[in-house]
Amino acid sequence: MLSFSLLALADDHAATAASLAIPAAIDAPDLRWAGLIIGLPALSALLCLLCGALKLRSKLPALITIIALLGSFVLTCMLFSQVGEGTPRVVGLFEWMSFSWGTGDRFQSFAAPFALYIDALTLFWMLFVTGLGSLIAIYASEYMESDVGKGYTRFFGGVSIFLAAMATLVMASNLVVLYLGWEGVGLASYLLIGYYYAKPSAVAAAKKAFIMNRIGDLGLALGIGLIWVNYDTVDYATLFRVLEAGPLATQGDWMPSAIPFLLMLGAFGKSAQLPLFTWLPDAMEGPTPVSALIHAATMVTAGVYLIARTYPLFELHPDALATVAWVGGLTAFVAATIGMAQYDMKRVWAYSTISQLGYMFLGLGVGSTFGAGYHVFTHAFFKALLFLTAGAVMHGFAGQIDIRKLSGLRRVPGFKLVSWLALLGCLWLSALPFSAAFFSKDTILTTALGSERSDFQFLGWLGLFTAFLTAYYTFRVWFRAFAGPVQFEAGDDHHDDDHAHDSHATASHAHAKSEFHPHGPRLGIRIPLIVIALGVVAAGWPGYDALFFHGENWVQSMMMHSSAMQGAGEVHGREIFGLSAHRMTSIVGTSACLLGIAIAYWTHLRDRSAADRARAALRGFFLTRWIPATLENRWYVDEIYHALFRLPLWVASHILHFFDKTFVDGFLVDGTGRVPVAVARLFQPLYNGVLQGYAATMAGGFVLIAGWVFWIWLRGNG
């Protein structure tokens, strides 16, 4: 019951959010040291590069990276204590782009200095980015130890590049610098997904992620261009001033209306939303810490950040936010259904990430930036925890991650802690009442259900159903892999296998194949896991604070004091079934969660064949036959893309290839090349190798020239 009053309190605080203006930014040259938050990871990347050049074979790169990231985190905390929810600060670091052209009336200029825009939203994001980044770097220092040497250096260099780029993205004071960071995180993501570059699937996944992100990035680049064309600035502070002063949307002019849709495209690409989500599951080819850091906790939330940051722009077109909501809601549902049918633990978490990101976009779309931001925050912790426990399992079982081949891990020595922490993550992901995710998810769903718009209400019901699916597939994994009888098969990751035996000095190599001993995680993995687990619990603190101590939700007030303030407060109190919206959401959400866990328990722990029987029943009846097939094949999205884009391009490329071979190469290039050959063949008899032949050619040429000159001379005289 207490949880319900949380939302009531939120109502009180909503107050006059919409009428508040975004506070004007002030210059703060005294905060120049904040540039070190970007600078430390960048320096660490350079040092890792140096380590790579020196062919260092030690854990030094990890040490450098961890120190740099911890430094960034400490600096971020200091910045938070100085700025907090206060006025946004702009810290100029150095001149970056500055052009001007034209004269008189046609004078135009473009300036994008490398400066930081520090407000509550920035700080909120930076806190968990640097904090989680440091923890995951510590985790990776043990996880990646089998690769000590060149690969280790490459990995930590990539992580450092990522952190530097992510900090640039979040702290940028204008859209161009944001774009720099945006592309930087894309690059780091590409480098780290393709970390095992000898594996074709990893290379393909890296390529896929990079190309799909390009589609989104094109939208973002065009959006930035349109913003500059329309408002003559790319600077946030100036942009917000301009937007506040002038009419937000001029009807009939397509250009300002197109801006939110283009920005949205960029956000969907980076955050793996519906049209562009297929890269994220494949990105699990990268090392698990990368999946945790980049593809679950931080980078994928860049899309949410972009929309929150440019929230005022999304009111330029009335349908912009509705589109975001629809895409988010549908993505949440579709990804959850796919997650139900996957066997690879990391892939299930990948689809759940997409699904949870869908919730965040739904929150943004229905007008609850507070809910979205809070969900980003809670999700970052529990999803990082889930990935890291999956990684610990993978590390211990030689790359084994298939939930059909793992069972009862909580009884395997060394994996007790991991199992219980995984359970914590699963409960949070299922939005158990009083968990942090429960607060954030319910805020989003309440806003949707409480909306006046019927389509938002529908999306709210869809979100509730998705919550049920989420609880089911989450516990399906946990009951399969961590509970039940002990039974496991080792993976085929021999590198890890050997390492396992090295650490268990008693085992002989002769038994390496026949006998497998899983090895539990050591301190480097355990400590970050515990710290993150504490973070998972603590992420609920703002909610508990509001609930039990009648304080203010910290996340809400952070959102309130930033550019995302427009949607930070309001939760409408519409009545549904005679209950207020938030009360209803809490009741239905809780029951959905419990129902999902119960079904998962029934089908995957008590009677493990029940799920297979259910699947067989579905397949047996012709009307439902499509359901398991579609889910197992991921809604055929990859196949649809293949048919829609790759196949036509393949055909077109072969046609062009044929044209290129026969006409361009064959006729133009080779044909041109054959002309001198043909001419040479004409004169070839002159080069018969006999001295006199050459002499005759020479004399003949001379004689011809002389005769011609004389002929001209004679005619000139006559």
Partner 1 sequence: MTSMMTSMMTSTMTSTMTSMMTSTLAQYDASAVDAALLTSALLFGIGLIGFLSRRNMIVMFLCTELMFQGAALAMIAFGRVHGNADGQTFVIFILTIAAAEAALALGLVVLLYRRRETLDSEAWSELKEC
Partner 2 sequence: MDQSAPSDLLSSSTVMLGLVALASAGLVLLMRPGARSLRLAGSVLGLAGVAGLFVEVLKLASGGGGIPPILPVLFGVTAIAGAARVMTHPRPVFAAVYFILVVVASAGLFLLLGADFMAFALIIVYAGAILVTYMFVLMLAQQSPVEGDATANWYDRVPREAVSCVIIGFVMVATLAQVLFNPNEEARRVASSVQGEAQTQAQLWETLAGMPKQLKVITRERLQLAKDAPVQFVAGERSALIQIEGDTRFVVATVDGKDHRVMLTNTDLPVNAQVVGATLVNDFPASIEVAGVILTMALFGAVVLARKQVELGEDERRELAGLSRLSVEPDSGASR
Span of 15-23, 203-211, 283-291, 709-717 interacting with partner 2 by CB under 8 A:
709-717
- Minimum Å distance from CB 679 to partner 2? 21
* CA distances to 176, 201, 249, 524 from 392, in Å: 39, 22, 51, 11
User: Binding mask 258-287 vs partner 1 (x if CB under 8 A, - otherwise)?
Assistant: ------------------------------
Assess contact for 334 and 275: CB atoms under 8 A. Answer: no
Q: Does 689 bind partner 2 (CB under 8 A)?
A: no
Q: Which of 688, 705, 708, 711 binds partner 1 (CB under 8 A)?
A: 688
Closest CA to 184 of 146, 213, 227, 207: 213
Q: Does 704 bind partner 1 (CB under 8 A)?
A: no
Which residues have CB under 8 Å from 416's CB, separation 6+? 410
Which SS3 state, helix, strand or coil, does residue 287 take? coil
Number of residues this chain uses to bind partner 1 (CB under 8 A): 11
- Minimum Å distance from CB 681 to partner 1? 8
Span of 127-135, 320-328, 408-416, 679-687 interacting with partner 1 by CB under 8 A:
679-687
Q: Does 696 bind partner 2 (CB under 8 A)?
A: yes
* CA distances to 27, 394, 397 from 195, in Å: 41, 16, 20
Q: Does 198 bind partner 2 (CB under 8 A)?
A: no
- Minimum Å distance from CB 695 to partner 2? 10
Alpha carbon distance 511, 491 (integer Å): 16
Which residues have CB under 8 Å from 585's CB, separation 6+? 442, 445, 446, 449, 460, 464
Question: Residue 716 binds which entry of partner 1, partner 2, none, with Cβ cut-offs from 5 to 8 Å by kind?
Answer: none
Residue with tokens 């722009």: 313
Span of 207-215, 284-292, 414-422, 691-699 interacting with partner 1 by CB under 8 A:
691-699
Assess contact for 372 and 363: CB atoms under 8 A. Answer: yes
Torsion, Cα 374 378 384 389, to 10 degrees, reads: -160
- Minimum Å distance from CB 689 to partner 2? 13
What token pair was written down for 617? 């029943």
- Minimum Å distance from CB 714 to partner 1? 17
CA angle 263–269–275, rounded 5-degree value: 105
Please state the separation of Cα 645 from the chain's center in Å.
Answer: 23
Q: Does 701 bind partner 1 (CB under 8 A)?
A: no
- Minimum Å distance from CB 718 to partner 1? 22
Closest CA to 331 of 510, 462, 488, 190: 462
Count, residues in the chain: 718
Q: Does 692 bind partner 2 (CB under 8 A)?
A: yes
Alpha carbon distance 191, 179 (integer Å): 18
By beta-carbon proximity to partner 2, the closer residue of 655 and 686 is: 686
What token pair was written down for 604? 């995957």
User: Binding mask 632-671 vs partner 2 (x if CB under 8 A, - otherwise)?
Assistant: ----------------------------------------
What token pair was written down for 169? 């993205």
Q: Does 676 bind partner 1 (CB under 8 A)?
A: no
What token pair was written down for 691? 């001295």
Q: Which of 636, 650, 687, 711 binds partner 1 (CB under 8 A)?
A: 687
- Minimum Å distance from CB 710 to partner 1? 13
The string of DSSP codes covering 199-218 is: SHHHHHHHHHHHHHHHHHHH
Q: Which of 198, 523, 682, 690 binds partner 2 (CB under 8 A)?
A: 690
Q: Does 686 bind partner 2 (CB under 8 A)?
A: no
Q: Does 678 bind partner 1 (CB under 8 A)?
A: no
Question: Residue 688 binds which entry of partner 2, partner 1, none, with Cβ cut-offs from 5 to 8 Å by kind?
Answer: partner 1
Alpha carbon distance 589, 430 (integer Å): 10
Residues 495-534 that bind partner 2 (CB under 8 A): none
| Interface residue list for partner 2 (CB under 8 A) | 690, 692, 696, 699-700, 702-704, 706-707, 710, 713-714, 717-718
| Interface residue list for partner 1 (CB under 8 A) | 684-685, 687-692, 695-696, 699
